[in-house]
């Protein structure tokens, strides 16, 4: 069990070293506890950074074969578990968007 945790911490540290060592908002250094790997395929990863000091959140993508990454701030109340769930969903089709639009246009109230 410890070897799996150690392996995960090594991966998290790699993303800290490669993508973001410090929080953009407060400048605090990221630690492995601030990092969650949301999705990992053979060629890319989606990583969630959450600053332990100021609670600022970032999501980054990392493309392994070319070492390219992109990081954006995220202002959200979603948990890491929820973000991970939505990241694994397939894309929304234009027809699904149109169906929702038409439903909302016809119904003044939406009950959940």
Domain count for the chain, please give it.
1
Contact 76, 26 (CB under 8 A): no
CB 102 within 8 A of CB 83: no
The residue among 22, 49, 53 whose CA lies nearest residue 34 is 49
Consecutive sets of 10 residues in the chain, 112 residues long: mean pLDDT of each? Answer: 82 91 93 92 88 90 80 73 80 92 87 73
Per the domain annotation, does 112 fall within a domain?
A: no
In a domain, 32, yes or no: yes
- Domain holding 27, by residue range, is 2-106
pLDDT, residue 32, reads 95
Model confidence, pTM: 0.69
CB atoms closer than 10 angstroms to residue 65: 8
- Strands (E) across the chain are located at 35-40, 44-50, 57-63, 68-74
Q: Is residue 111 part of a domain?
A: no
| Rounded CA separation 53/11 (Å) | 22
């Amino acid at each position: 069990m410890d070897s799996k945790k150690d392996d995960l911490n090594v991966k998290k540290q790699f993303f800290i070293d490669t993508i973001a060592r410090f929080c953009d908002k407060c400048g605090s250094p990221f630690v492995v506890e601030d990092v969650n790997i949301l999705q990992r395929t053979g060629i890319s990863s989606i990583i969630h950074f959450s600053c332990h000091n100021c609670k600022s959140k970032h999501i980054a993508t990392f493309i392994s074969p070319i070492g390219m990454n992109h990081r954006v701030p995220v202002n959200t109340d979603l948990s890491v578990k929820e973000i991970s769930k939505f990241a694994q969903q397939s894309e929304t089709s234009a027809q699904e968007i149109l169906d929702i639009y038409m439903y909302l246009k016809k119904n003044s109230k939406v009950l959940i």
